[in-house]
Amino acid sequence: MGGEYNHRMAIVVRVVLGFLLAASSIVSVAAELDTASTIIVNARIVDGTGAPARKGAVRLQGDRIVAVGELEPAPGELIVDAGGLTLTPGFIDTHSHHDRGIFEHRDAMAAVSQGITTIVAGQDGSMTYPIKYLFDRLQQTPAAINVASYIGHGNIREFVMNADFARAARPEEIERMRRLVSEGMGYGALGLATGLEYDPGIYSTTDELLVLAKEVAGFRGRYISHIRSEDRYFWAAVDEIVRIGREAKIPVQISHMKLAMVDWWGQSQRLIDVLERARSEGVDITGDIYPYEYWQANLGVLFPRRDFTNRETAEFALKSIAPPDGLRITGFPPEPALEGLTIAQIAERSSMTPAEVLMDLTQRSAVMGNNDDVIGTSMRSDDVAALTAWPHANICSDGSLVGKHPRGTGAFTKVLRVYVREQKLLSFEEAIHKMTGLSAAHMGFADRGVIRPGAHADLVLLDPEQVSDRSTIEHPEALSVGISKVWVNGVVVLDEGEATGHYPGQVIRRVDP
Ligand SMILES: [Zn+2]
């Protein structure tokens, strides 16, 4: 934030007790306040419902919002002058990996600095920690942000089947998974998350998923999925998640929606039609999306049959899914020196073709468990924009606290820069709704994502004209700008670009609707 921005920065003022005692109406308000309260005055309020911005004040007490509207400060109350800046609900990241390393990075700056106050973990079927351990440890050692979690299908599948997971599960194995799902739901998981393009989820049958999804239904939970294919078998993968929603009778959400194959480019309306048809038939299907044309995964996902020596598969992947000059190695344990290079660059430096490089690297990585990282450019910007604008799509980051993809620090602020300011695809209020109120509805959060009395005081104070991402592939760590303050449960965690060192984050457990 530059110097010209200073005069508009919010000013925190501690009002001397008695300063305002002259106004009797204020005394009566004060009488109702039994613990210290904060009032944010002179704000432009965008409440997360999609309603137009309105001027006003917001009073916080404890971890809640207690009043919104034309409010006067009460004696002794902490006053925050918003200086005309815009106050929104804290952003809810429905597909996040910011839980990785959260206990080493409790400030969660990558998330908080782009306005995220709540992350939803367990994504892609992968939990960093078992639900009970994660929740217990977060209660003992909270972070700056709130954390909710799905049960990672991949984790429980691997726990039950061990290394022998490359096959359909037997009935007794599915029964053991079902009991683990039941246990996780009992701890307050939101539902079941799958990652069906990854090991070990890719080997599951739809019947296995249906058994587990129906178990979730008994708890009135939900299902979220990195679907079985985002390229070759995309339409069948969409049909599968629709079927799970229909037969298990639970809300289902497609993670990080994308059309990641040349053949499907320009078909965003076809996808929206499929989803709308399912919705019209009673399937509660929604999606989340991040604003980039490139994804991050491991090389193995380009070989859905795991046939890493198949030249045809490799050539097809580089032709139709991820061109060699847009497929960049960002983590490669067998040979870290390759990190930062594209497949095209590695091929140029060797005697191999790009397809041979792809096969070689994937085989070498497989020996070490496929824990490489690669960024692939597979989407077209107009598809990303059209899917973002779908009324049932909310924004996610898919990001990490310390990651190589710029989404970890910039996904939400990039939406505000590109889709609101530059392209005018969304109004500011619509974009905020897709980051807050809509996301809360998609996750089943009853009292977050909106600015209204009784809701949790997760708030962002920002300048709509300045808010922007700065992260790039070259500098994925660059933090966003234009966000002045972030509150989590009534406590300031980010103040003019600096972490405050407060850790008011809560564990968010599923509540019965
Ligand atoms: Zn994913």
> Going by DSSP bridges, is the β-strand pair 393-395/285-289 parallel, antiparallel, or unpaired?
parallel
| Centroid of ligand 1 to alpha carbon of 207 (angstroms) | 21
Question: Measured between alpha carbons, how far is 400 from 407 in angstroms, rounded to an integer?
Answer: 8
Find all residues with CB under 8 Å of 69, minimum gap 6, and list them: 56, 57
Taking a C-beta distance cutoff of 8 angstroms, is the pair 354, 318 a contact? yes
| Centroid of ligand 1 to alpha carbon of 225 (angstroms) | 8
| Centroid of ligand 1 to alpha carbon of 126 (angstroms) | 9
pLDDT of the residue at 23:
36
Give the sign of the dihedral formed by CA 249, CA 225, CA 317, CA 164.
Answer: negative
Strand, helix or coil at 12?
A: strand
| Centroid of ligand 1 to alpha carbon of 22 (angstroms) | 58
Token output for 403: 């990651």
pLDDT of the residue at 513:
61
| Centroid of ligand 1 to alpha carbon of 296 (angstroms) | 8
Nearest-CA neighbor of 218 among 187, 186, 246?
A: 186
| Centroid of ligand 1 to alpha carbon of 455 (angstroms) | 30
| Centroid of ligand 1 to alpha carbon of 195 (angstroms) | 6
**268-280 and 381-389 are packed helices; what angle lies between their axes, rounded to 10 degrees?**
20
| Centroid of ligand 1 to alpha carbon of 382 (angstroms) | 21
Taking a C-beta distance cutoff of 8 angstroms, is the pair 415, 435 a contact? yes
Nearest-CA neighbor of 218 among 247, 248, 194, 244?
A: 248
Q: How many CA atoms, within 13 angstroms, populate the side-chain half-sphere of residue 339? A: 13
Strand, helix or coil at 391?
A: coil
Task: Report the amino acid identity of residue 486.
Answer: V
| Centroid of ligand 1 to alpha carbon of 340 (angstroms) | 21
CB count within 10 Å of CB 344 equals 17
| Centroid of ligand 1 to alpha carbon of 398 (angstroms) | 7
| Centroid of ligand 1 to alpha carbon of 212 (angstroms) | 19
| Centroid of ligand 1 to alpha carbon of 42 (angstroms) | 40
| Centroid of ligand 1 to alpha carbon of 373 (angstroms) | 13
Taking a C-beta distance cutoff of 8 angstroms, is the pair 20, 75 a contact? yes
| Centroid of ligand 1 to alpha carbon of 335 (angstroms) | 24
**234-248 and 268-280 are packed helices; what angle lies between their axes, rounded to 10 degrees?**
20
Query: How would you write the pLDDT of the chain (513 residues) with one tens digit per residue?
Result: 233 322 233 333 333 222 333 333 333 344 444 568 999 999 999 999 999 999 999 999 999 999 999 999 999 999 999 999 999 999 999 999 999 999 999 999 999 999 999 999 999 999 999 999 999 999 999 999 999 999 999 999 999 999 999 999 999 999 999 999 999 999 999 999 999 999 999 999 999 999 999 999 999 999 999 999 999 999 999 999 999 999 999 999 999 999 999 999 999 999 999 999 999 999 999 999 999 999 999 999 999 999 999 999 999 999 999 999 999 999 999 999 999 999 999 999 999 999 999 999 999 999 998 999 999 999 999 999 999 999 999 999 999 999 999 999 999 999 999 999 999 999 999 999 999 999 999 999 999 999 999 999 999 999 999 999 999 999 999 999 999 999 999 999 999 999 999 999 999 999 876
> Which residues lie across from 41 on neighbouring strands?
81
| Centroid of ligand 1 to alpha carbon of 29 (angstroms) | 49
Question: Measured between alpha carbons, how far is 508 from 192 in angstroms, rounded to an integer?
Answer: 15
**206-218 and 234-248 are packed helices; what angle lies between their axes, rounded to 10 degrees?**
40
Token output for 392: 């049932």
DSSP state of 422: I
Task: Report the amino acid identity of residue 392.
Answer: H
pTM of the predicted model, to two decimals? 0.92
pLDDT of the residue at 26:
38
| Centroid of ligand 1 to alpha carbon of 423 (angstroms) | 27
Q: How many CA atoms, within 13 angstroms, populate the side-chain half-sphere of residue 456? A: 25
Taking a C-beta distance cutoff of 8 angstroms, is the pair 113, 409 a contact? yes
Question: Measured between alpha carbons, how far is 185 from 213 in angstroms, rounded to an integer?
Answer: 11
Task: Report the amino acid identity of residue 114.
Answer: Q
Strand, helix or coil at 358?
A: helix
pLDDT of the residue at 511:
84
Nearest-CA neighbor of 487 among 49, 17, 37?
A: 37
| Centroid of ligand 1 to alpha carbon of 510 (angstroms) | 22
Token output for 490: 């009534």
| Centroid of ligand 1 to alpha carbon of 124 (angstroms) | 5
Taking a C-beta distance cutoff of 8 angstroms, is the pair 416, 46 a contact? no
| Centroid of ligand 1 to alpha carbon of 189 (angstroms) | 19
Nearest-CA neighbor of 357 among 337, 378, 338?
A: 338
| Centroid of ligand 1 to alpha carbon of 226 (angstroms) | 5
| Centroid of ligand 1 to alpha carbon of 6 (angstroms) | 39
| Centroid of ligand 1 to alpha carbon of 46 (angstroms) | 30
| Centroid of ligand 1 to alpha carbon of 96 (angstroms) | 9
Question: Measured between alpha carbons, how far is 5 from 299 in angstroms, rounded to an integer?
Answer: 44
Question: Measured between alpha carbons, how far is 420 from 381 in angstroms, rounded to an integer?
Answer: 15
State phi, psi for 442 to the nearest 5 degrees: -70, -25
| Centroid of ligand 1 to alpha carbon of 30 (angstroms) | 49
Taking a C-beta distance cutoff of 8 angstroms, is the pair 274, 281 a contact? no
| Centroid of ligand 1 to alpha carbon of 169 (angstroms) | 22
> Going by DSSP bridges, is the β-strand pair 222-226/252-254 parallel, antiparallel, or unpaired?
parallel
| Centroid of ligand 1 to alpha carbon of 338 (angstroms) | 24
> Going by DSSP bridges, is the β-strand pair 146-149/116-121 parallel, antiparallel, or unpaired?
parallel
Q: How far is CA 483 from CA 188, 412, 449, in A?
A: 32, 11, 17
| Centroid of ligand 1 to alpha carbon of 80 (angstroms) | 39
| Centroid of ligand 1 to alpha carbon of 290 (angstroms) | 11
| Centroid of ligand 1 to alpha carbon of 256 (angstroms) | 7
pLDDT of the residue at 443:
98
| Centroid of ligand 1 to alpha carbon of 297 (angstroms) | 8
| Centroid of ligand 1 to alpha carbon of 397 (angstroms) | 10
| Centroid of ligand 1 to alpha carbon of 348 (angstroms) | 30
Q: Peptide bond preceding 200: is omega within 30 degrees of 0, i.e. cis?
A: yes
Token output for 354: 């790009």
Nearest-CA neighbor of 209 among 194, 231, 221, 222?
A: 194
| Centroid of ligand 1 to alpha carbon of 199 (angstroms) | 12
